[in-house]
């Protein structure tokens, strides 16, 4: 065996796992042994690994190997074993857990009272996050792994997420966020009887150009209110956010006033996409194409003055037919125009809540099959798992917003010392 360069230490060869796997598969095929399922090669190997780990733990606990002569007259010693069936990702396996005479052995690989290995629990949580109900998961595991697991067990596994959710919801946040986006999604939650409840979601864009969900809150039946917004924004401030440059929202009632009270210097920007959607809600389908084309001319204007002139032409044409549509734009105008002071590369970031809309679509996919939730905690648990489930993006593995350096330069010229970059 050769030495590593000049070290005098024997080089350790990496095990040929591929070759070993090929030998095992080939031998199993020759003997007619299945690879998976009860009695299969994978089950046997997993059982042997677990059994060997338990025996190694016992040896470490006692201070000597099984049958070793130096274990004589040392007080505590092995005292047989007990069978234990555990649920794993490949099905149920039975191992022999060794015992010691004084009952002090506490294995770690399969802890006392543990009936499921952690990888199995992780898979249950993953399936739950993807929108499967407890009944769906129980049926899936029984079909794929021949493993019987009750709905109550699935609920117990996913309930372990509650503590993680509590820590996540109270974690410290950055001192300043260039952009914060706020929106709401409506879920059916039982509170005596099933009712539509808003769930408010706040997403921040930090100084590294990475989006992060800052928190989620279940609101009361009947929609938004100033008190609800104040409580929510105060919590964000108490967790560290002392300033926000731009806060994008959907014209939610009472929110602009609450933002001004918590972060007096913040600019409130109404989501243009929501304004356009509301316009279509007030108008007949036959006019949608014309209206959306004209509105695009307004929100892509080069200046505020140009946008104002185009809007007045739009209002003159549609006021007689759709006064509510024009009224919605006039009432939101002050919060609509701030983004027009920025160049095009910044506008797309701050005038639309598309990022949070994308998250909302994932939320809807996760809750679609559930009908309604028994309580607020169950609803937040599913949404939290959806947030936690990272979607890989090969084109942008860092998660940073495209062109962020240019955007940050423009924002720093506008907000200067408030960003704390100097």
Quick one: which of 196, 313, 205, 361 has its CA closest to 269? 205
Q: Are 259 and 267 in contact (CB under 8 A)?
A: no
Q: What is the pLDDT of residues 244-278, one digit of tens each?
A: 999 988 767 788 889 999 999 999 888 888 889 88
pLDDT (mean) for 94-106: 84
Q: Which two tokens stand for residue 86?
A: 């555990």
HSE, side-chain direction, 13 A CA sphere, residue 97: 19
pTM for this structure? 0.68
For the chain, the average pLDDT equals 79
Q: Is the pLDDT of residue 318 over 60?
A: yes
| Predicted local confidence at residue 43, as pLDDT | 56
Average the pLDDT over 329-334 and give the result: 91
Residues 6+ positions from 229 with CB-CB distance below 8 Å: 252, 254, 255, 257, 258, 259
Alpha-carbon gap, residue 227 to 193, rounded angstroms: 24
What are 44-63's pLDDT values in tens digits? 656 666 676 677 777 878 88
pLDDT tens, residue by residue, 130-154:
666 777 777 766 665 555 666 776 6
Cβ atoms of 41 and 28 closer than 8 Å: yes
| Nearest alpha-carbon partner for 308 in 340, 273, 284 | 340
Scanning 199-271, the segments in alpha helix (DSSP H) are 226-238, 255-262
Separation of alpha carbons 322 and 284, rounded Å: 9
Q: Dump the DSSP string for 40-59.
A: -HHHHHHHHHHHHHHHHHHH
Which ranges constitute the DSSP H helices of 300-420? Answer: 304-318, 323-336, 344-350, 354-367, 376-388, 404-415
Q: Please give the share of the chain, as a percent, with pLDDT higher than 90.
A: 25
CA-based nearest residue to 304, from 277, 344, 339: 339
- Domain chopping of the chain, boundaries: 17-160, 167-419
What is residue 287's predicted lDDT score, i.e. its pLDDT? 95
């Amino acid at each position: 065996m050769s030495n590593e360069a000049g070290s005098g230490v024997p080089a350790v060869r990496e095990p040929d796992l591929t070759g070993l796997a090929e030998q095992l598969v080939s031998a199993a095929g020759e003997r007619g042994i299945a690879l998976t399922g009860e009695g299969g090669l994978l089950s046997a190997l997993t059982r042997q690994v677990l059994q060997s780990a338990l025996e190694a733990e016992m040896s470490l606990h006692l201070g000597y190997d099984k049958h070793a002569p130096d274990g004589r007259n040392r007080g505590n010693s092995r005292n047989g074993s007990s069978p234990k069936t555990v649920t794993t990702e490949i099905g149920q396996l039975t191992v022999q857990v060794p015992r010691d005479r004084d009952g002090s052995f506490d294995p770690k690989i399969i802890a006392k009272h543990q009936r499921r290995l952690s990888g199995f629990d992780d898979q249950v949580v993953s399936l739950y996050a993807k929108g499967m109900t407890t009944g769906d998961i129980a049926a899936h595991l029984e079909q794929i792994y021949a493993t019987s697991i009750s709905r109550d067990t699935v609920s117990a596994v996913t309930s372990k997420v509650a503590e993680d959710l509590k820590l996540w919801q109270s974690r410290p946040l950055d001192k300043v966020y260039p952009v914060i986006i706020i929106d709401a999604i409506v879920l059916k939650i039982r509170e005596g009887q099933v009712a539509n409840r808003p769930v408010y979601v706040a997403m921040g864009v930090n100084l590294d150009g990475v989006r992060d969900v800052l928190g989620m809150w279940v609101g009361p039946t009947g929609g938004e209110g100033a008190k609800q917004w104040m409580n929510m924004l105060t919590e964000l401030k108490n967790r560290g956010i002392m300033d926000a440059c731009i806060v994008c929202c959907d014209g939610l009632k009472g929110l602009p006033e609450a933002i001004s009270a918590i972060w007096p210097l913040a600019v409130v920007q109404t989501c243009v996409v929501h304004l356009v959607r509301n316009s279509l809600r007030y108008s007949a389908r036959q006019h949608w194409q014309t209206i959306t084309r004209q509105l695009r001319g307004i929100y892509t204007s080069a200046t505020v003055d140009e946008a104002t002139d185009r809007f007045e032409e739009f209002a003159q044409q549609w006021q007689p037919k759709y006064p509510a549509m024009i009224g919605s734009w006039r009432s939101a105008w002050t919060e609509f125009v701030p983004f027009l002071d920025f160049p095009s590369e910044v506008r797309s970031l701050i005038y639309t809540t598309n990022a949070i809309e994308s998250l909302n679509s994932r939320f809807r996919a996760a809750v679609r099959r559930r009908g309604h939730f028994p309580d607020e905690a169950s609803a937040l648990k599913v949404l939290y798992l959806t947030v936690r489930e990272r979607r890989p993006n090969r084109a942008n593995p860092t998660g940073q917003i495209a062109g962020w350096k240019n955007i940050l330069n423009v924002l720093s010229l506008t907000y200067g010392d408030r960003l704390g970059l100097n």
